[in-house]
Amino acid sequence: MPVCTVSMSQDFGWNKKEAGIVLSSFFWGYCLTQVVGGHLGDRIGGEKVILLSASAWGILTAATPLLAQLSSAHLFFMTFSRILTGLLQGVYFPALTSLLSQKVRESERAFTYSAVGAGSQFGTLVTGAVGSLLLDWYGWPSVFYFSGGLTLLWVCYVYRYLLSEQDLILALGVLAQGVPVSRHTKVPWRQLFRKPSVWAAISSQLSAACSFFILLSWLPTFFEETFPSSKGWVFNVVPWLVAIPASLFSGFLSDHLINQGYRTIAVRKFMQVMGLGLSSVFALCLGHTSSFCKSVVFASASIGLQTFNHSGISVNIQDLAPSCAGFLFGVANTAGALAGVVGVCLGGYLIETTGSWTSMFNLVAAVSSLGLCTFLLFGEAQRVDLSPTHEDL
């Protein structure tokens, strides 16, 4: 959607505020299924939740151009489509967190999560590169057809080679009947939310998600309007090309430091300094340069450094509560998605009213700094999901 926003705005006559509504509407749905996705991942297996939801969002993505043309109410139907897409994709990261917390040991979590997270960066890279070319050659609908088609190809591959039909039938039966498949599905709500470290993790995840969503939504428009003669594939590709090795490096570095004897929480906090602190510095620099090359460098550095969050707060949630990591990540990412709704809309409002992109980058820096300070002060890596009699074991 961010790749196509400018072209769609021209076709449908949207201003910045209306474009901001469409961009942010994804997060209206995204925030509603986070906790559900994490809890289902803890119960029936994250891989099954991901496959079922991907099937639905792949079909919807490919059908989005058709929905947009149903009537003259383009804004309504695009907003509805984005909300529904958000509902379906909201389960992904909580289910992934649940899956990895159950299958991967602590000393390998950061690299594993970062490696899997690099797949998201690669997907954005492919969509940015191929999508920019398709946008120029065939128009914005082709980008949705391409993205939805790739998702459905992935679904077919995973279904055929990685999951059995019996597993999916069992998962669907659980979803339909609401029958628990494990005796250990009760979430210790009160125990979790009495811990400052849990609130620090939620706050940091909120800031990381909000900052990322603002940049993800508005960077393509920033480049197209500030540098209209530039090639779309450059600014839609280079930042994500940097993000992939940055994500892998952050995971490797984090696990290496822990294996060398550094305290887990010290490593997690260092990763957040890079992912929230240093990345926001480069975001601020974007608002104070008129050079296209420098802007690409600053955007690439900011996006690349944000992947360090995969080895910081994203893994810290698994440190705190591996038995219900999907649920806790869902709560934290719900907060982040809600902040993303406000942040993307507020970003569009600030750009429209001030006539300057600097205000939007200042917003990113302020949100990132707040989350970083909270995590540095209250963040911990000790388990909080154990019963009081076993907490110190």
**Segment 29-45, tens digit of pLDDT:** 888 888 888 878 777 77
Do 4 and 134 meet the contact criterion of CB atoms below 8 Å apart? no
Token pair listed for 292: 């296209």
Spatial distance between the Cα atoms of 189 and 214, rounded to a whole number of angstroms: 30
Position 88 scores a pLDDT of: 92
Q: Give the closest residue to 254 by CA, choosing from 279, 271, 229.
A: 271
55 and 127 housed in the same domain: yes
Position 39 scores a pLDDT of: 78
* 20 domain-assigned: yes
* 202 domain-assigned: yes
Do 170 and 299 meet the contact criterion of CB atoms below 8 Å apart? no
* 96 domain-assigned: yes
Separation of CA 85 from chain center? 14
Q: Which of 125, 154, 179 is the last residue of a domain?
A: 179
Q: Which of 158, 179, 200 is the last residue of a domain?
A: 179
* 98 domain-assigned: yes
Structural domains of the chain, count: 2
Spatial distance between the Cα atoms of 221 and 387, rounded to a whole number of angstroms: 50
Q: Give the model confidence (pLDDT) of 42-97 as tens digits.
A: 777 778 888 889 999 999 999 988 887 776 778 888 888 899 999 999 888 888 88
163 and 208 housed in the same domain: no
* 391 domain-assigned: no
Position 182 scores a pLDDT of: 47
Q: Which residues of the chain have pLDDT under 50?
A: 179, 181-183, 389-393
312 and 164 housed in the same domain: no
Q: What is the CATH number of the domain that holds 67?
A: 1.20.1250.20
* 392 domain-assigned: no
pTM of the shown model: 0.73
366 and 218 housed in the same domain: yes
Q: Which of 179, 212, 231 is the last residue of a domain?
A: 179
Position 391 scores a pLDDT of: 43
Position 58 scores a pLDDT of: 94
* 393 domain-assigned: no
Question: Helix, strand, or coil here: 262?
Answer: coil
124 and 39 housed in the same domain: yes
Separation of CA 359 from chain center? 23
Position 393 scores a pLDDT of: 37
81 and 193 housed in the same domain: no
279 and 347 housed in the same domain: yes
Position 48 scores a pLDDT of: 83
121 and 208 housed in the same domain: no
Spatial distance between the Cα atoms of 389 and 191, rounded to a whole number of angstroms: 13
Q: Give the closest residue to 64 by CA, choosing from 115, 105, 133, 3.
A: 3
* 390 domain-assigned: no
157 and 263 housed in the same domain: no
Largest distance between two CA atoms of the chain: 65
Domain that holds residue 139: 1-179
59 and 80 housed in the same domain: yes
Spatial distance between the Cα atoms of 29 and 19, rounded to a whole number of angstroms: 17
Distance of CA 325 to CAs 94, 128, 333, Å? 8, 31, 12
198 and 87 housed in the same domain: no
91 and 168 housed in the same domain: yes
